[in-house]
A and B are shown apart, each in its own frame.
Chain A
């Protein structure tokens, strides 16, 4: 079975840095994805990790440790528009479907 855990909610201040953690236990693993989702809208692809280490993409970075079943998404220089849900998703090794975590709702305040 699959089990992917994220904090339910986080708050941060504009301009700050926030780290959203994701732990997973899955039967198959072929990569971990982070998506951003605003309410009522489609998930938007942010980052992808398949090997251990840090991937940096502008204000967003994502880290993966396969041995620990752990990933985090780091958001720097937070902006108000970053208020959204952040979904951690594991790509199932067998058939490439995404298994999503419960999502972390981030609220950025002035």
Chain B
């Protein structure tokens, strides 16, 4: 079965640089969520989109932005990177605005040096 695809899987950036993380959803899954998971921590919700519109916003810094495109893929843009941004970033997909369970992608491991 098709799963959530995230790219890149690993990314190394320096402080103050920018990064773009991409998420390609399971076919027909119209809702996307972004989560950040620091070392030894639980996933923290950042932002979500339903039908290309932002549906909810969590603890996402102003330096980050995201969008969902017409083909339902999503991108998380991160600017002025800080050491504390080093984490695993997961994209999750669901159907119908999140009524159904969320399926997580493999994650992008971002390391800021």
Residues of A within 8 A of B (CB): 33, 35, 40-45, 48, 87, 91-92, 94-103
**Chain A residues positioned under 8 Å from B42 (CB to CB):** 87, 100-103
CB–CB B98/A95 < 8 A: yes
* A41-B107, A44-B104, A97-B98 known, 6 other contacts, Cβ within 8 Å: A33-B102, A42-B107, A45-B103, A48-B101, A96-B31, A98-B45
CB–CB A97/B33 < 8 A: yes
What are 17 contact pairs spanning A and B, CB under 8 A? A33-B101, A35-B104, A42-B104, A42-B105, A42-B106, A43-B90, A43-B104, A44-B104, A87-B43, A94-B56, A95-B55, A96-B56, A96-B98, A98-B43, A98-B92, A99-B45, A101-B42
Give A70 to B110 CA distance when docked, in angstroms.
35
Closest to B42 in A: A100
Interface of B is mostly: strand
**Chain B residues positioned under 8 Å from A92 (CB to CB):** 56
Given contacts A95-B55, A100-B43, contact A45 B102 (CB under 8 A): yes
**Chain B residues positioned under 8 Å from A91 (CB to CB):** 98
B58 interface residue per 8 A CB criterion: yes
Shortest 3 CB-CB contacts between residues of A and residues of B = A96-B98, A95-B56, A100-B42
Closest-CB distance, B2 to chain A (whole angstroms):
15
**Chain A residues positioned under 8 Å from B68 (CB to CB):** none
Give A40 to B89 CA distance when docked, in angstroms.
11
CB–CB B58/A97 < 8 A: yes
The answer, among A40, A97, A98, for a CB contact under 8 Å with B88, is A40
B86 interface residue per 8 A CB criterion: no
Closest to B94 in A: A96
